[in-house]
Chains A and B, each alone.
Chain A
Amino acid sequence: MWKLVRYEFRGRRLLYTIGLITMCALTLYQATRFIGMRQDPAQSAPVSINVPLMMAGFWVLFYAVMTVINIVTYTQDLYGDTGYLVFGLPLRGAEVLGSRIVLLVFDTLMTLLGGMTSVIVLASLAPGLTQEIRPYVGRFLLTTDYWVMCLGVLAVIVSFMTIMFFGVTFGKTLTNSKKHLGSVFSALVVIAVLWAGAQFGIMLDMRFSGVRLYLRPWENLPIVGAGTQPAQFPLISPLMLVALGVLAFVMTSWLMDRKLNL
């Protein structure tokens, strides 16, 4: 599986390079603007809070692009001629799918760390915020709760995408048609699964309304978040989504091994 991962990374070299250079350039540009603005804090204060947030938005956009490319490449392999190359390899379905998940996890971690770095750098330099933010940055990174929240987000994203992979794969097991009929069907399956999952999740949440995750991710950063009150995060639906994700992984691997019609 790791051989396949290496090849996928090599194929993405250009994209990663362009993306990371762009993000660094953007961050540096804004940072230098901020340093320049220090002369006149009153004028720039209203601007300075939005910039780190916009930067985070760019990182999310970059992440969305990489993820879309991930699943589109997989779909193209499945429905197109290059599938004969990938699925002809002596690899189990779990390994083929696993390589995609590894890429997804890597992208998520890279976006998280890169995004955090950009946002922290900008927030630390932003006129009007510097004095208040700087002392807390180090401490907020040390909060276990913050990393638990990040892990939760990672798990939810990976599970969600695994369900998408399942939908795409399932469509290919019914017919060997290269037409997009299969991908339309796949899309419907994905929507149906997610909708059903959402309904089930809501129902479970209502039944177990007492069970929540109480985290204080922003505990050391009083400027953000509602003071010292713990934030409420739903626990049941994410857990259910993760369970569905694991199930989707198992089923997709099985489909790839036994039921494909390339």
Chain B
Amino acid sequence: MSMLVQISSLTKRYITTSALSDITMDIPEGHILGLLGPNGSGKTTLMKILAGLVSPTSGSVLVDGMVPGVGTKAFVSFLPDVNHLDRWMSVGEAGDFYADFYHDFDRKRFEELLAIMRLTAGQKIGSLSRGMVEKARLSLVFSRRARLYILDEPFGGLDPLARAQVLDALVANFRADCSMILSTQMVADVERFFDDVVFLDNGRVVLAGEAEDLRTHRGASIEEIYKEVYGHVEAR
């Protein structure tokens, strides 16, 4: 099994803070990796580095053997945790924009996803509720036949039905030649989709492994392990 993402001793420092310290991890091809941790643990920074939007301070990051940059952006589909679309754009125009710049954008799939999410092309982003904007952005990101999907809190602002729809889309979207890394606070709802899990705390990896292995060895769900890991940490 080849590694789509290889990260070695990755560190990211700003002038006053350290966002990531000495991160080493891999994402195999065809795997879904759950990136877990409390707010401020470095999840978003790690994802932005993989997406080529933040530059590492030191260490090595390779996505399909390339350093994140112009080349990787063509096959990496990133969903930020905030709305990244212009408010005066319509859903359809956003789709056109994606189609124009990303060769891997699948228009047919986009239309299908919009139908499932009950969105229409004419709606302006600024007029949509938070949950609907989320669904629109997810549709855009998933309509790309990317090699790596990076999803930062894709379930925030979604009601249980929408969440189920997104998870269904996730499974339907699954291909053996692509990988996914996603962060979420809703561990219980999503843990059955993780092949691998990485727990971050204060910019460091505190626990990592295959989800099923962790369940077997600890006799606990990923959510319970989460509480163990961070409960411990807080008690320090």
A92 to B51, CA, bound (A): 14
A259 to B70, CA, bound (A): 13
A84 CB contacts on chain B under 8 angstroms = 53, 78, 80, 82, 84
B78 CB contacts on chain A under 8 angstroms = 84, 88
B73 A89 Cβ-Cβ under 8 A: yes
A85 B70 Cβ-Cβ under 8 A: no
Within 8 Å of chain A (Cβ to Cβ): is B206? no
Digitize B52-92: 1 where CB-to-A-CB distance is under 8 Å, 0 elsewhere: 11110000000000000111011000101011111000000
A88 to B148, CA, bound (A): 13
B101 A260 Cβ-Cβ under 8 A: no
A90 B71 Cβ-Cβ under 8 A: yes
B101 A175 Cβ-Cβ under 8 A: no
B100 CB contacts on chain A under 8 angstroms = 3, 7
Least distance between A88 CB and chain B CB atoms (Å)? 6
Q: How large is the interface on A (under 10, 10 to 19, 20 to 34, 35 or more residues)?
A: 20 to 34
A253 to B83, CA, bound (A): 26
Q: Which of B69, B80, B101 has the most CB of A within 10 A?
A: B101
Least distance between B62 CB and chain A CB atoms (Å)? 16
Given A3-B101, A176-B14, verify A90-B70 contact (CB < 8 Å). yes
Within 8 Å of chain A (Cβ to Cβ): is B48? yes
B55 A261 Cβ-Cβ under 8 A: yes
Least distance between A189 CB and chain B CB atoms (Å)? 15
B84 CB contacts on chain A under 8 angstroms = 81-85, 88
Name A90's contact: one of B53, B54, B55, B74 (CB within 8 Å). Answer: B74
In A73-100, the 8 Å CB interface with B consists of: 81-85, 87-92
A88 CB contacts on chain B under 8 angstroms = 51-53, 73, 78, 84
Within 8 Å of chain B (Cβ to Cβ): is A207? no
Least distance between A122 CB and chain B CB atoms (Å)? 36
Least distance between B224 CB and chain A CB atoms (Å)? 33
Name B80's contact: one of A81, A89, A91 (CB within 8 Å). Answer: A81
Within 8 Å of chain A (Cβ to Cβ): is B15? yes
A7 CB contacts on chain B under 8 angstroms = 97, 100
A257 B73 Cβ-Cβ under 8 A: no
A258 to B69, CA, bound (A): 8
Within 8 Å of chain B (Cβ to Cβ): is A65? no
A262 CB contacts on chain B under 8 angstroms = 48, 53-54
B226 CB contacts on chain A under 8 angstroms = none
Within 8 Å of chain A (Cβ to Cβ): is B230? no
A85 to B73, CA, bound (A): 11
A82 B86 Cβ-Cβ under 8 A: yes
Within 8 Å of chain B (Cβ to Cβ): is A174? yes
A259 to B69, CA, bound (A): 11
A residues whose Cβ falls under 8 Å from a Cβ of B = 3, 7, 81-85, 87-92, 174-176, 257-262
B residues whose Cβ falls under 8 Å from a Cβ of A = 14-15, 45, 48, 51-55, 69-71, 73-74, 78, 80, 82-86, 97, 100-102
Q: A87-B53, A257-B69, A262-B53 are in contact. List 12 more A-B contacts (CB 8 A).
A: A81-B80, A83-B53, A83-B84, A84-B82, A88-B52, A88-B84, A90-B71, A90-B74, A174-B15, A176-B14, A260-B53, A261-B55
